[in-house]
């Protein structure tokens, strides 16, 4: 009987020790949050400037960045809709609203055609888009091709390196 009590005490203390180890090994709470149907609306002086929507957002609070899946960004000038930026995925800096689109990216302008490229960056402070990838702009009577681009978000004022224009 004494032997049985001794075995029980040994197993009891071993069990307590194992519980302590498992609690020490428990991973810390992740710094990321997942949000479905993510949406940001940005205004300036009461005027709509941007609406960003994504199927999913993975928010890293320590870096203040949201990783977005299938984002759609609609841009406005003085409250009037001017263009839409679509990407396969993107990162948005939640503090300054810069957007880095990854994969296939498209900008659809109300008045100045459509842009197709890869890995497009939107600088919110300058209200400009940039890429060092090949670009294609489709307008009503022309196709413009090049190797990089800097433009306003309307696609009105563009700079394209190594551009080639095909009139349709």
pLDDT along the chain (168 residues), means of 10: 52 51 45 87 93 96 94 96 98 96 98 97 97 97 96 96 93
Residue 7 is predicted with a pLDDT of 54
Strand partners, 91: 67, 100
CA distances from 153 to 25, 46, 50 (A): 49, 20, 11
Residue 29 is predicted with a pLDDT of 43
* 53 contacts 72 by C-beta, under 8 angstroms: yes
CA distances from 159 to 4, 27, 122 (A): 85, 49, 15
Q: How far apart are the first and last CA of the chain?
A: 98
Q: Tally Cβ neighbours within 10 Å of residue 64.
A: 12
Dig out the tokens for 21 from the structure. Answer: 């180890």
- Residue 108 CA to residue 129 CA, distance in Å, equals 13
Residue 33 is predicted with a pLDDT of 86
Q: Within the chain, what is the greatest distance between any pair of CA atoms?
A: 99
CATH class of 32-167: mainly beta
The structure tokens 């709470």 sit at 29
Residue 116 is predicted with a pLDDT of 98
Residue 48 is predicted with a pLDDT of 95
């Amino acid at each position: 009987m004494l032997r049985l009590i001794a075995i029980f005490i040994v197993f009891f203390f071993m069990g307590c020790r194992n519980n302590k180890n498992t609690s020490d090994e428990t991973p810390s709470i992740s710094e990321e949050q997942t949000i479905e149907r993510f949406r940001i609306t940005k205004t300036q002086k009461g005027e709509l400037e941007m609406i960003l929507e994504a199927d999913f957002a993975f928010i890293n609070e320590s870096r203040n960045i949201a990783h977005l899946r299938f984002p759609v960004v609609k841009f406005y000038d003085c409250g009037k809709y001017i263009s839409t930026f679509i990407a396969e995925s993107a990162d948005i800096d939640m503090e300054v609203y810069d957007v880095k689109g990854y994969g296939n990216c498209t900008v659809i302008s109300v008045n100045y055609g459509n842009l197709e490229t890869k890995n497009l960056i939107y600088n919110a402070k300058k209200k400009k888009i940039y890429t060092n990838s090949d670009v294609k702009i489709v307008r009503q009577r022309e196709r413009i091709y090049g190797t990089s681009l800097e433009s306003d978000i309307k696609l009105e004022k563009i700079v394209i390196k190594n551009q080639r224009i095909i009139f349709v």
